[in-house]
Amino acid sequence: MRVLVAPLDWGLGHATRCVPVVREFLNQGAEVELAVVRSNAGLLRGIFPELRQRLVPSYNIVYPKHGYNMGLWLVKNGAHLRTVMNYEHRIAEEMVKRFHYDVLVSDNRFGFYSRNAKSIYMTHQRRIAFPRVLSAFEPLGMLWHASVMKRFDEVWVPDLPEFPGYAGALSHVANAPVPVKYVGALSRFSGMDAEAPASLNGRGPYCFVAVVSGVEPARTRFENLLRETLVKIPGRHAIILGKPSLGVKSSNERNLDLFTHLPDDQFASVVRSAQWVISRGGYSTVMDMAVLGARCVFVPTPGQYEQVILGRDLAREGYAATIDESKFSTETLVAAVSEKAHVALPKPSDNNLLKDAVREIKI
């Protein structure tokens, strides 16, 4: 069985949550290749250096500076998104014809399917969350997403089948246009040794470890905000900048250790050495932090209302703290960790959901 796995390039979370999917296909004897863009090629090459990579079109997404402009942004960029979707569909059909893939796995790449291969669409956001002021349009968003899913043979949901799982109402929707399979919480850290070393090359343990991720300009804005905030808090802190294209480099600024990027084992070590982890509230990050047993403060990316919903629901359940970016400061961070001192994300239970989903593929 020849398989091509294609993650979306809106941040690295789509690529990282494809890692256990790729591993499972390999474990079951499949021949796997990766459809990449420049922004995620380096990360995936570091994890799977032996796998062939195929270049596919990038969505080239740049989010608006202010989250309240997201509705206008969607209208403005709708034609661009449709153009990329149509182009990537033609590319997918050509690649299946040329390289004889039996299975395409698209992580939220809306147009990456083929009529001549088993096409699987992976998403946790079956319900696309809209801000309250735009909530009247949410049914239209669901209809549009359903029309996307109809083009695929199966939908895989990286969550638990029992509500609320980790994504709550975002992933648990009553109606589905094609067969839906829940494949469990997906993290590249699953199966790693749970012991946290005391230090990494003489660094750590840390009070706060901040993980920077996402697309520009929000990524750099978040990085600068973290630098300004953490330098004012006593103790040793680390910031993982999420720049795999720069390689693995480290530097120091006052009480901050800065890492451009870290291999998975070192990333896990740094996170596990922290009292608290600060990160965006993307769903892949939530699953990673649950596996690593981190106590988290989530700062949702403005404009990504899905992250607001996830952070709110996790905070309500006592699993994490959340702070709006516009209110993020030394004072609000210290107050949040004091108030939520006993939060903890539930550890994912062992299951065979992903293994069974791969095994049941019929081509």
Which of 48, 45, 41 has the alpha carbon at shortest distance from 26?
Answer: 48
Is the CB of residue 19 less than 8 Å from the CB of residue 160? no
Residue 337 vs residues 208, 225, 315: alpha-carbon distances, Å: 10, 17, 12
Q: What is the mean pLDDT of residues 68-90?
A: 72
Residue 8, Cα to own-chain centre: how many angstroms?
Answer: 10
Query: What's the pTM value of the predicted model, to 2 decimals?
Result: 0.85
In tens, the pLDDT along 241-260 reads 988 777 788 899 999 999 99
Q: Tokens for 208?
A: 């706060």
Chain-centroid distance, C-alpha 41: 15
Euclidean distance between CA atoms 105 and 109, whole angstroms: 9
3-state secondary structure of 109: coil
283-292 and 264-272 helices cross at what angle (nearest 10)? 70
For residues 229 and 210, give the distance between their C-alpha atoms in angstroms, rounded to a whole number.
11
pLDDT band at 68 (very low <50, low <70, confident <90, very high): very low
Q: Is 342 exposed, middle or buried (0-12, 13-18, 19+ CB in 10 A)?
A: exposed
Q: Cβ distance 73 to 80 under 8 Å?
A: no
Tell me what pLDDT residue 26 has. Answer: 98
Neighbours of 117 (CB within 10 A): 22
Instruction: Say what angle helices 283-292 and 13-27 make with each other, to 10 degrees.
Output: 60
- Mean pLDDT throughout 106-119? 96
Angle at 299 between CA 275 and CA 5, to 5 degrees: 95
| SS3 assignment, position 103 | strand
Q: How far apart are the first and last CA of the chain?
A: 8
Question: Quick count: other Cβ atoms within 10 Å of Cβ 75?
Answer: 9
pLDDT score at 168: 87
Residue 78 clears pLDDT 80, i.e. is over it: no
Q: Which of these, 203, 204, 252, 208, lies nearest to 229 by C-alpha position?
A: 208
